[in-house]
Amino acid sequence: MAVNLAPPRAEDLLSIAGVRLGTAEAGIRKKDRRDLLVVALDEGARVAGVFTRNRYCAAPVLVCREHLAAGKPVRALVVNTGIANAGTGEAGLAAARATCEAVGRALGVEAGAVLPFSTGVIMEHLPVDRLEAGIPAAVAALRADGWAQAAAAIMTTDTVPKAVSRQAVIDGRTITVTGIAKGAGMIQPNMATMLGFVATDAAVGQDALRDLVRFVADRSFNAVTVDGDTSTNDSFLLVATGAAGNPPIVGEGTAEYTRLAECVLEVAQVLSQAIVRDGEGATKFITLVVEGGATREECLRVGKSIAHSPLVKTAFFASDPNLGRILCAVGNAGLADLDPAQVTLHLGEALVAEKGGRAAAYTEAQGQAAMAPAEITVRVGLGRGAETATVWTCDFSYDYVKINADYRS
């Protein structure tokens, strides 16, 4: 029961010159489902990524970091669902490397030019033989318009595939950005992981691409939360093929960079918000805007403190304008010198709290009207600066407990 989330229409997804995608049924954990995706990148593509900070990061994440650190061209991505290859020790690392070798052989590129991604059950070993056996079929299926099928192939507990395209004009050329993602937080049992893959045909310098992936991740995938758990496999990868033929975008200060960043950010925000809309048991989509902070980081802390409070999330589920719980979460964000007298709180358009207490004009009816819809905006003003941050989250329902408690029983 995703919140206002329709599946993408294949005809709305635009190909990216230099990127081909193919899927196959490898039978990693379940039969009769496409659980393997290979993405082939033409020569010249640049890649930058951000990965989970969980110390139990999965073997494929370690291998991705290693291959990216080597600085060589990336020519392929390989993604499997079913098993996360996390909590698998040395054997897991060997399995991730073997996967890269198999894809490299099939595509005629080095193993070091392949980035592996896994999502699924933690602490079980990847059946490399079955995965390898599926690679030829995935490679044979490679096609430029494979985005919709790719979005479906990387789903685990997602109920809706997540994919979107946007275009922008840069230097007189139309550039295209297309991305796919799968859910996290909505981590079922051991079904870990948020994965996001976004590609553009724009030409972008390596340093600019690295800046861009962090900028975008911080304002999209790192700004959404379902239940506060960072998985062992979270990865967000940005590919720039350069096929659009624009003069390479090199620096943060330029108009071209800004235009591309806006376009990539829009794609990443649609995808990351889709993850929240499809959060386990979600019935509400909540936008938390924190303004007036001394730093963006402290605004994020306040937003996440609200987004992670089970008391706040159950109140959203109940459509209950429970101001005390929200203010309590603001007070718990760890801003040691926050002055509650300066804090303002809006539910929707209504000013509900100020000067350390309830706003004089606030009525319960206003609060109830703001909490009733499936999409709710909460605005917190910290009154201590000009910085801002937005966090997106969902509510906490009976179904969240049901989904996560019933899985293995």
Continuous segment of H or E residues that includes residue 236: strand 235-240
Task: State the minimum distance, in angstroms, from the CB of residue 1 to a copy of itself.
Answer: 15
Task: State the minimum distance, in angstroms, from the CB of residue 29 to a copy of itself.
Answer: 14
User: What are the structure tokens assigned to 334, written together?
Assistant: 């760890």
Rg (CA), the chain: 22
Closer to a copy of itself at the Cβ: 143 or 402? 402
User: What are the structure tokens assigned to 40, written together?
Assistant: 């082939």
Task: State the minimum distance, in angstroms, from the CB of residue 226 to a copy of itself.
Answer: 9
Task: State the minimum distance, in angstroms, from the CB of residue 395 to a copy of itself.
Answer: 9
234 phi, psi to nearest 5 deg: -50, 130
d(CA 296, CA 190): 32
Residues with a known catalytic role: 193
Task: State the minimum distance, in angstroms, from the CB of residue 79 to a copy of itself.
Answer: 19
Task: State the minimum distance, in angstroms, from the CB of residue 62 to a copy of itself.
Answer: 10
d(CA 268, CA 274): 10
**DSSP notation for 356-370:** TEE-TT--HHHHHHH
**DSSP notation for 277-336:** HT-TT---EEEEEEEEESSHHHHHHHHHHHHH-HHHHHHHHTT---HHHHHHHHHTS--T
User: What are the structure tokens assigned to 262, written together?
Assistant: 């806006």
d(CA 325, CA 72): 50
Task: State the minimum distance, in angstroms, from the CB of residue 320 to a copy of itself.
Answer: 5
User: What are the structure tokens assigned to 193, written together?
Assistant: 């992981």
- 274: closest CA among 189, 148, 158? 158
Residue holding tokens 């659009």?
244
Closer to a copy of itself at the Cβ: 227 or 256? 227
Q: Answer for the pair 32, 162: CB distance below 8 angstroms, yes or no.
A: no
Pairing of strands 387-394, 224-225: parallel
Binding site for a copy of itself (CB under 8 A): 54-57, 84, 86-92, 121-123, 187, 189-190, 192, 227-232, 308-311, 314-315, 317-320, 322-325, 327-333, 335-336, 338-341, 353, 355-358, 396-398, 400-402, 404-409
- End-to-end distance of the chain based on CA atoms, in angstroms? 22
CB atoms within 10 A of CB 101: 15
Phi-psi region at 4: left, alpha or beta (left = phi > 0; alpha = psi -120 to 50) = left
